[in-house]
Protein backbone atom coordinates (compact mmCIF):
# COMPACT_ATOMS: atom_id res chain seq x y z
CA UNK A 1 0.00 0.00 0.00
CA UNK A 2 1.34 3.39 -0.95
CA UNK A 3 1.09 6.37 1.37
CA UNK A 4 0.37 10.05 1.02
CA UNK A 5 3.58 12.06 0.68
CA UNK A 6 4.08 14.75 3.32
CA UNK A 7 4.33 18.25 1.85
CA UNK A 8 6.48 21.27 2.73
CA UNK A 9 5.16 22.95 5.87
CA UNK A 10 4.94 19.75 7.90
CA UNK A 11 7.52 19.93 10.73
CA UNK A 12 8.64 16.32 10.21
CA UNK A 13 10.43 17.40 7.02
CA UNK A 14 12.66 19.64 9.15
CA UNK A 15 13.60 17.16 11.88
CA UNK A 16 16.82 15.26 12.42
CA UNK A 17 15.91 11.58 12.00
CA UNK A 18 16.76 8.68 14.34
CA UNK A 19 19.22 5.91 13.56
CA UNK A 20 17.90 2.37 13.29
CA UNK A 21 19.35 -0.54 15.28
CA UNK A 22 20.03 -3.87 13.56
CA UNK A 23 17.11 -5.35 15.47
CA UNK A 24 14.83 -2.59 14.24
CA UNK A 25 16.00 -3.06 10.64
CA UNK A 26 15.18 -6.76 10.84
CA UNK A 27 11.73 -6.13 12.38
CA UNK A 28 8.56 -6.73 10.39
CA UNK A 29 7.57 -3.12 11.01
CA UNK A 30 10.64 -1.72 9.21
CA UNK A 31 10.54 -4.36 6.46
CA UNK A 32 6.89 -3.42 5.82
CA UNK A 33 7.83 0.25 5.87
CA UNK A 34 10.49 -0.35 3.18
CA UNK A 35 7.85 -2.05 1.00
CA UNK A 36 5.44 0.86 1.54
CA UNK A 37 8.17 3.35 0.64
CA UNK A 38 9.03 1.44 -2.53
CA UNK A 39 5.38 1.43 -3.62
CA UNK A 40 4.93 5.10 -2.73
CA UNK A 41 8.06 6.12 -4.66
CA UNK A 42 7.02 4.11 -7.74
CA UNK A 43 3.45 5.40 -7.67
CA UNK A 44 4.54 9.06 -7.49
CA UNK A 45 6.77 8.34 -9.51
CA UNK A 46 10.08 9.51 -8.09
CA UNK A 47 13.71 8.43 -8.00
CA UNK A 48 14.01 8.53 -4.23
CA UNK A 49 11.93 8.73 -1.07
CA UNK A 50 13.05 9.33 2.51
CA UNK A 51 11.15 8.06 5.56
CA UNK A 52 10.16 11.56 6.80
CA UNK A 53 8.27 12.02 3.53
CA UNK A 54 5.74 9.47 4.72
CA UNK A 55 5.82 10.72 8.28
CA UNK A 56 8.49 8.41 9.78
CA UNK A 57 11.33 10.05 11.66
CA UNK A 58 13.94 7.43 10.69
CA UNK A 59 17.31 7.33 8.88
CA UNK A 60 15.97 5.34 5.99
CA UNK A 61 15.54 6.12 2.30
CA UNK A 62 14.81 4.19 -0.88
CA UNK A 63 16.28 4.97 -4.31
CA UNK A 64 15.52 3.76 -7.81
CA UNK A 65 16.07 5.50 -11.15
CA UNK A 66 14.33 3.38 -13.78
CA UNK A 67 15.32 3.50 -17.42
CA UNK A 68 11.72 4.22 -18.46
CA UNK A 69 11.82 7.53 -16.55
CA UNK A 70 14.33 8.92 -19.03
CA UNK A 71 13.42 7.08 -22.25
CA UNK A 72 12.19 10.37 -23.73
CA UNK A 73 15.34 12.35 -22.77
CA UNK A 74 17.84 13.04 -25.57
CA UNK A 75 21.05 11.08 -24.99
CA UNK A 76 23.27 14.19 -24.80
CA UNK A 77 21.09 15.52 -21.97
CA UNK A 78 21.49 12.23 -20.08
CA UNK A 79 25.24 12.29 -20.73
CA UNK A 80 25.55 15.81 -19.41
CA UNK A 81 23.68 14.88 -16.23
CA UNK A 82 25.66 11.63 -16.03
CA UNK A 83 22.28 10.01 -15.53
CA UNK A 84 22.13 6.23 -15.80
CA UNK A 85 19.52 3.82 -14.40
CA UNK A 86 19.96 2.88 -10.73
CA UNK A 87 18.45 -0.33 -9.36
CA UNK A 88 16.12 -0.25 -6.38
CA UNK A 89 18.03 -0.15 -3.11
CA UNK A 90 17.69 0.96 0.49
CA UNK A 91 20.02 3.19 2.48
CA UNK A 92 19.89 3.13 6.29
CA UNK A 93 21.93 5.27 8.75
CA UNK A 94 23.95 6.79 5.90
CA UNK A 95 27.03 8.99 6.21
CA UNK A 96 28.00 11.06 3.21
CA UNK A 97 31.49 12.08 2.11
CA UNK A 98 32.04 14.45 -0.79
CA UNK A 99 34.73 13.00 -3.08
CA UNK A 100 34.57 15.70 -5.76
CA UNK A 101 32.96 18.99 -4.67
CA UNK A 102 32.76 20.40 -8.22
CA UNK A 103 29.18 21.75 -8.28
CA UNK A 104 26.83 20.68 -11.06
CA UNK A 105 23.95 23.09 -11.65
CA UNK A 106 20.65 21.56 -12.74
CA UNK A 107 16.99 22.01 -11.94
CA UNK A 108 15.94 19.70 -9.12
CA UNK A 109 12.56 18.82 -7.65
CA UNK A 110 11.15 16.90 -4.68
CA UNK A 111 7.99 14.87 -4.10
CA UNK A 112 7.42 16.91 -0.92
CA UNK A 113 7.46 20.19 -2.85
CA UNK A 114 5.03 19.04 -5.51
CA UNK A 115 5.34 20.93 -8.76
CA UNK A 116 8.35 23.07 -7.81
CA UNK A 117 11.80 22.86 -9.28
CA UNK A 118 14.78 25.09 -8.91
CA UNK A 119 18.43 25.30 -9.97
CA UNK A 120 20.29 23.39 -7.27
CA UNK A 121 24.06 22.87 -7.15
CA UNK A 122 25.24 19.39 -6.09
CA UNK A 123 28.68 17.87 -5.69
CA UNK A 124 29.77 15.74 -8.64
CA UNK A 125 30.97 12.68 -6.72
CA UNK A 126 30.17 11.24 -3.29
CA UNK A 127 30.70 8.20 -1.12
CA UNK A 128 27.95 6.88 1.14
CA UNK A 129 28.50 4.40 3.94
CA UNK A 130 25.27 2.84 5.12
CA UNK A 131 23.40 -0.34 5.93
CA UNK A 132 21.10 -2.09 3.49
CA UNK A 133 17.69 -3.64 4.21
CA UNK A 134 19.39 -6.75 5.65
CA UNK A 135 21.54 -4.59 7.96
CA UNK A 136 24.65 -5.39 5.90
CA UNK A 137 27.29 -2.67 5.60
CA UNK A 138 27.41 -1.09 2.19
CA UNK A 139 29.67 1.48 0.53
CA UNK A 140 28.34 3.36 -2.48
CA UNK A 141 30.41 5.61 -4.72
CA UNK A 142 28.36 7.66 -7.13
CA UNK A 143 28.81 10.37 -9.74
CA UNK A 144 26.47 12.77 -11.49
CA UNK A 145 22.72 12.29 -11.16
CA UNK A 146 22.98 9.33 -8.78
CA UNK A 147 25.29 11.41 -6.56
CA UNK A 148 22.63 14.16 -6.68
CA UNK A 149 19.89 11.72 -5.63
CA UNK A 150 21.99 10.45 -2.71
CA UNK A 151 22.71 14.02 -1.53
CA UNK A 152 19.01 14.91 -1.85
CA UNK A 153 17.79 11.86 0.13
CA UNK A 154 20.43 12.16 2.85
CA UNK A 155 19.50 15.82 3.22
CA UNK A 156 15.95 14.68 4.01
CA UNK A 157 17.33 12.57 6.88
CA UNK A 158 18.92 15.73 8.30
CA UNK A 159 15.84 17.92 7.96
CA UNK A 160 17.15 19.68 4.86
CA UNK A 161 15.44 20.29 1.52
CA UNK A 162 16.83 21.14 -1.90
CA UNK A 163 15.58 24.72 -1.63
CA UNK A 164 18.10 25.23 1.20
CA UNK A 165 20.96 24.81 -1.29
CA UNK A 166 19.59 26.91 -4.10
CA UNK A 167 20.78 30.45 -4.66
CA UNK A 168 18.04 32.66 -3.19
CA UNK A 169 17.87 34.42 -6.51
CA UNK A 170 17.30 31.25 -8.50
CA UNK A 171 14.24 30.76 -10.64
CA UNK A 172 11.40 28.71 -9.19
CA UNK A 173 9.55 26.76 -11.85
CA UNK A 174 5.97 25.78 -11.12
CA UNK A 175 4.24 25.28 -14.40
CA UNK A 176 4.24 21.74 -15.76
CA UNK A 177 5.33 22.73 -19.25
CA UNK A 178 8.22 24.93 -18.17
CA UNK A 179 9.22 22.27 -15.65
CA UNK A 180 9.52 19.66 -18.39
CA UNK A 181 11.48 22.09 -20.51
CA UNK A 182 13.99 22.90 -17.78
CA UNK A 183 14.34 19.38 -16.45
CA UNK A 184 15.55 18.39 -19.92
CA UNK A 185 17.55 21.52 -20.71
CA UNK A 186 21.29 21.54 -21.31
CA UNK A 187 23.54 22.96 -18.63
CA UNK A 188 24.59 25.69 -21.08
CA UNK A 189 20.98 26.77 -21.68
CA UNK A 190 20.27 26.77 -17.95
CA UNK A 191 23.34 28.85 -17.22
CA UNK A 192 22.68 31.34 -20.02
CA UNK A 193 19.07 31.77 -18.91
CA UNK A 194 20.25 32.27 -15.35
CA UNK A 195 22.83 34.92 -16.28
CA UNK A 196 20.57 36.77 -18.67
CA UNK A 197 17.23 36.75 -16.86
CA UNK A 198 17.76 35.89 -13.20
CA UNK A 199 21.11 36.98 -11.86
CA UNK A 200 21.31 40.33 -13.75
ZN1 LIG B 1 12.86 15.07 -1.76
What is the distance in A from the centroid of ligand 1 to the CA of 3?
A: 15
- 22-68 pLDDT per residue, tens: 999 999 999 999 999 999 999 999 999 999 999 999 999 999 999 99
CA distance 90 to 85: 15
**Residue 172 pLDDT exceeds 80:** no
What is the distance in A from the centroid of ligand 1 to the CA of 16?
A: 15
CA distance 62 to 56: 13
| Secondary structure class of 164 (helix, strand, coil) | helix
Residue from 26, 153, 176, 196 carrying the catalytic annotation: 153
Measured at the CA of 119, the angle between CA 70 and CA 157, to 5 degrees, comes to 80
Closest CA to 60 of 151, 128, 144, 130: 130
- 108-158 pLDDT per residue, tens: 999 999 888 888 999 999 999 999 999 999 999 999 999 999 999 999 999
| Secondary structure class of 182 (helix, strand, coil) | helix
Of 166 and 68, the structure prediction assigns the larger pLDDT to 68
What is the distance in A from the centroid of ligand 1 to the CA of 65?
A: 14
Q: Which residues surround ligand 1, an ion (CB under 5 A)?
A: 110
What is the distance in A from the centroid of ligand 1 to the CA of 23?
A: 27
CA distance 98 to 125: 6
CA 65: distance to chain centroid? 10
Measured at the CA of 102, the angle between CA 98 and CA 105, to 5 degrees, comes to 110
Give the gyration radius of the chain's Cα atoms: 17
* Per-position DSSP letters for 53-95, written without gaps between them: GGT--BSEEEEEE-GGGGTTS-HHHHHHHT---EEEEEEEEEE
CA distance 180 to 85: 19
153 is catalytic: yes
Torsion of CA 17, 21, 23, 29, to 10 degrees: 10
What is the distance in A from the centroid of ligand 1 to the CA of 131?
A: 20
Amino acid sequence: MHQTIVQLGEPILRKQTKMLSIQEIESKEVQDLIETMKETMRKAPGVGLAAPQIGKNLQLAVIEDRKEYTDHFPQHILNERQRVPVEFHVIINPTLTILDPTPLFFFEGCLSLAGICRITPRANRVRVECLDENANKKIIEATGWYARILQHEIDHLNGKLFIDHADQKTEIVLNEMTRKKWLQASQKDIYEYYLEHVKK
